[in-house]
């Protein structure tokens, strides 16, 4: 009898559990199983082709759309992206993150990893989790291979599966192009289906959860966009149509995940947002106008000759060769007309000083307060120098003068030391020298330690024996990112 007693109790418990499970599954049909990020068929692209197609499209986009070059903003978006990539499901795509200098709230993903977020999106996000949500949603499109799936579907519609199969058998990019599967810039902006949007939300929800962000912020951001939309609504919804019930579907997916103490915001986001709010992005119309009039928004105003054009091609070639790094291409430049020289500098940087004296050119937030002085953390200082006359030979005078300038720099930054030999070259036909130095940045690293700073000194000899010099400054870890801009300034430097 005790057996029976126990059995019935077990049975009672079992029945109760079944009832409980039924209740739960009625409320949330997908309980206890997170979304399975399995890309849909057909898809005629191999993963390599997927990556290649996306990088070709990215190279084209970077010629047509102005990119934000602010080093701190770029570093921030890359740090945030990296945190999400670390937990992303699916193949290890070479994700890259860039900020388009555009006002509209929008973001887009290219096949195989390149993700672009408009500056307007950073300006509109209330907290880091919302921005993470937009990026995670875009990663969802990459992981679900939505773009190449759509391109494949279109090709089936046009050619039929039989012809496609024969064409794609050997599968090079050229054959894909023949099959109408080349991935042009226009296909980048294909409108996603509502199903694709829901899927990207669900993958995004899981990525956010795994990265420690509250997934509901993803839905909240899109809801906010929806409610604040003007007559035609925000641009985001023309490319990413609202699937409806975002809050419910994201909540239902989040309910399948173990509860966590989510974070929503960070100091880094607040700092990045402050920089973004101080910038004035282009409107979509202005960007369209640039494209129409043939202006390359990342390559200045056409007026400075062949050098930069050649450079541009090299950069694009670099991308097509499969370099997965986040190099920042050249962007729009403006002219500085000083009494002693002219040069081009990035359009989103500011020049301080006046046309007759020392000039400092720096990106937003490139100048920081150190004690009660301003210090340049990112940027360039351009100044003139009268060598002390110890030698009558003008060449020796130039050598001497360059050393005197280095001594002077050391006086304001005692840790500074040279890390390269002097190299002789010419700037605008004048004798010039290039020397790399390492010193102490006014910025602290993430552990609160003083960051190392790289300084690139360029001296230029003038006919009257005086010297013009430029000191390009950036924290060591960001120097290579700014190098293209620095080199462009040297290339366009003209002595008056």
Binding site for Zn ion (CB under 5 A): 197, 200, 240
Give the integer Cα–Cα distance in Å for 131 and 263.
Answer: 13
Instruction: CB nearer to Zn ion: give 72 or 198.
Output: 198
Give the integer Cα–Cα distance in Å for 460 and 429.
Answer: 10
Instruction: CB nearer to Zn ion: give 222 or 486.
Output: 222
Instruction: CB nearer to Zn ion: give 229 or 394.
Output: 229
Q: Least distance (Å) from Zn ion to the CB of residue 158?
A: 25
Q: Least distance (Å) from Zn ion to the CB of residue 257?
A: 21
* Torsion angles phi and psi, residue 391, rounded to 5: -140, 140
Question: Encoding tokens for residue 83?
Answer: 């945190």
Residues in the chain: 496
User: What residue ranges in 206-348 does DSSP mark as E strands?
Assistant: 333-337, 341-346
Q: Least distance (Å) from Zn ion to the CB of residue 265?
A: 23
Q: Least distance (Å) from Zn ion to the CB of residue 204?
A: 9
Instruction: CB nearer to Zn ion: give 175 or 242.
Output: 242
Q: Least distance (Å) from Zn ion to the CB of residue 47?
A: 21
DSSP state letter for 99? E
CB distance 476 to 451 below 8 Å: yes
Residue whose tokens read 């050619």: 159
Q: Least distance (Å) from Zn ion to the CB of residue 141?
A: 6
CB distance 433 to 423 below 8 Å: yes
b/e string for 157-184 if b means 16 or more Cβ within 10 A?
eebeeeebeebbeebebebbeebebbbe
Residue whose tokens read 């996000």: 125
Q: Least distance (Å) from Zn ion to the CB of residue 225?
A: 12
Q: Least distance (Å) from Zn ion to the CB of residue 36?
A: 18
Instruction: CB nearer to Zn ion: give 209 or 240.
Output: 240
Instruction: CB nearer to Zn ion: give 148 or 299.
Output: 148
Closest residue to bound Zn ion by CB: 240
Q: Least distance (Å) from Zn ion to the CB of residue 109?
A: 8
Instruction: CB nearer to Zn ion: give 220 or 240.
Output: 240
- Render 419-466 in DSSP notation, one character per residue: -S--EEEEETTEEEEEEEEEEEEEEE-TTSPEEEEEEEEEEEE-TTS-
Instruction: CB nearer to Zn ion: give 146 or 273.
Output: 146
Q: Are strands 114-118 and 96-100 parallel, antiparallel or unpaired?
A: parallel
Cβ-based burial of 284 (10 A; exposed 0-12, middle 13-18, buried ≥19):
middle
CB distance 109 to 95 below 8 Å: no
User: What residue ranges in 226-282 does DSSP mark as E strands?
Assistant: none
Instruction: CB nearer to Zn ion: give 43 or 331.
Output: 43
CB distance 265 to 273 below 8 Å: no
């Amino acid at each position: 009898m005790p057996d029976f007693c126990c059995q019935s109790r077990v049975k009672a418990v079992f029945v109760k559990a079944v009832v409980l499970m039924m209740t739960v599954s009625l409320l949330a049909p997908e309980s206890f199983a997170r979304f399975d990020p399995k890309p849909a068929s057909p898809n005629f692209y191999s993963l390599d082709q997927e990556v290649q197609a996306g990088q070709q499209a990215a190279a084209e986009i970077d010629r047509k759309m102005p990119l934000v070059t602010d080093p701190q903003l770029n570093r921030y978006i890359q740090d945030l992206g990296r945190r999400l990539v670390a937990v992303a499901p699916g193949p290890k795509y070479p994700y890259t993150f860039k900020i388009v200098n555009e006002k509209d709230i929008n973001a887009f993903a290219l096949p195989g990893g390149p993700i672009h977020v408009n500056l307007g999106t950073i300006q509109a996000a209330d907290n880091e989790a919302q921005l993470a949500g937009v990026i995670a949603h875009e990663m969802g499109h990459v992981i679900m291979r939505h773009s190449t799936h759509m391109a494949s579907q279109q090709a089936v519609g046009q050619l039929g599966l039989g012809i496609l199969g024969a064409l794609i058998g050997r599968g090079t990019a050229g054959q894909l192009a023949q099959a109408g599967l080349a991935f042009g810039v226009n296909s980048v902006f294909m409108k996603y289906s509502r199903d694709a949007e829901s899927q990207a939300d669900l993958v995004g929800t899981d990525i956010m959860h795994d990265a420690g962000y509250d997934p509901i912020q993803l839905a909240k951001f899109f809801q906010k966009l929806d409610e604040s939309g003007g007559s035609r609504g925000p641009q985001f919804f023309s490319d990413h149509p609202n699937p409806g019930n975002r809050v419910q579907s994201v909540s239902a997916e989040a309910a399948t995940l173990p509860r966590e103490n989510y974070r929503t915001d960070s100091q880094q986001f607040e700092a990045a947002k402050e920089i973004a709010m101080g910038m004035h992005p282009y409107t979509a119309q202005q960007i369209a106008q640039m494209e129409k009039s043939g202006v390359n928004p990342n390559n200045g105003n056409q007026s400075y000759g062949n050098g930069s054009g050649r450079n541009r091609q090299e950069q694009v070639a670099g991308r097509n060769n499969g370099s997965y790094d986040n190099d920042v291409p050249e962007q729009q430049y403006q002219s500085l007309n000083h009494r002693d020289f002219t040069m081009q500098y990035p359009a989103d940087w500011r020049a301080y000083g006046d046309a007759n004296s020392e000039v400092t050119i720096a990106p937003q937030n490139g100048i920081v307060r150190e004690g009660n002085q301003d210090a340049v953390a990112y940027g360039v200082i351009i100044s003139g120098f009268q060598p002390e006359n110890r030698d009558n030979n003008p060449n020796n005078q130039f050598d001497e003068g360059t050393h005197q300038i280095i001594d002077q720099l050391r006086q304001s930054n005692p840790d500074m030391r040279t890390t390269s030999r002097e190299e002789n070259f010419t700037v605008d036909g004048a004798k010039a020298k290039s020397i790399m130095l390492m010193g102490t940045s006014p910025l602290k690293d993430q552990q609160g330690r003083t960051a190392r700073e790289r300084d690139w000194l360029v001296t230029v000899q003038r006919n009257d024996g005086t010297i013009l010099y430029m000191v390009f400054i950036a924290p060591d870890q960001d120097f290579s990112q700014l190098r293209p801009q620095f080199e462009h300034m040297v290339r366009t430097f003209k002595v008056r």
